[in-house]
């Protein structure tokens, strides 16, 4: 049996109804984050960090552009992968990034609880929930783009 030539199937085109529902989730997450007082920059840092972990080139490109448009500095974006080794990120950003990494990597329960407890203490429950939903949503979008082989143009 020969292996057929790989031809990507864009999931967003194959099932636009489900993709539209995911888009509505992203809009809701943005509104929740704004209501919780989270900055657009913080949300984009979460989107980029999760996309780095997952290796999603399409989402990295998209959210880097959005972060710069929101006022983020190129230097911080270049160092985002090593955020915990710098003093360039605020306490709120660090808590959100740690939480987003935990949601993405799903470490052992003790490490997850530490990230969750720290983030809740720093962010408060409303912003904590918004960051959780942001990380969950970008993880889903990463998987759609990776599975679909969305190109970076």
The string of pLDDT tens digits covering residues 7-32 is 999 999 999 999 999 999 999 999 99
Residues 34-50 pLDDT 10s: 999 999 999 999 999 99
For residue 25, the Cα-to-chain-centroid distance in whole angstroms is 13
Taking the whole predicted model, whether its pTM rises above 0.85 is answered as yes
Nearest alpha-carbon partner for 138 in 25, 10, 9: 25
């Amino acid at each position: 049996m020969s292996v057929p030539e790989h031809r990507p199937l864009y999931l967003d085109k194959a099932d636009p109804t489900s993709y539209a529902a995911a888009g509505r989730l992203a809009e809701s997450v943005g509104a929740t984050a704004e209501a919780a007082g989270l900055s657009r920059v913080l949300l984009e840092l979460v989107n980029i960090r999760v996309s780095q972990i997952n290796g999603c080139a399409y989402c990295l490109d998209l959210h880097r552009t959005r972060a710069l448009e929101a006022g983020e500095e190129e230097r911080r974006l270049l160092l985002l992968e090593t955020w915990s080794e710098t003093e360039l990120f605020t306490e709120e950003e660090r808590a959100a990034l740690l939480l987003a990494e935990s949601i993405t990597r799903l470490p052992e329960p003790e490490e997850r609880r530490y990230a969750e407890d720290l983030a809740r203490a720093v962010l408060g429950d409303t912003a904590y929930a918004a960051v959780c939903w942001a990380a969950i949503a970008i993880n889903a979008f990463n998987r759609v783009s990776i599975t679909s082989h969305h190109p970076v143009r």
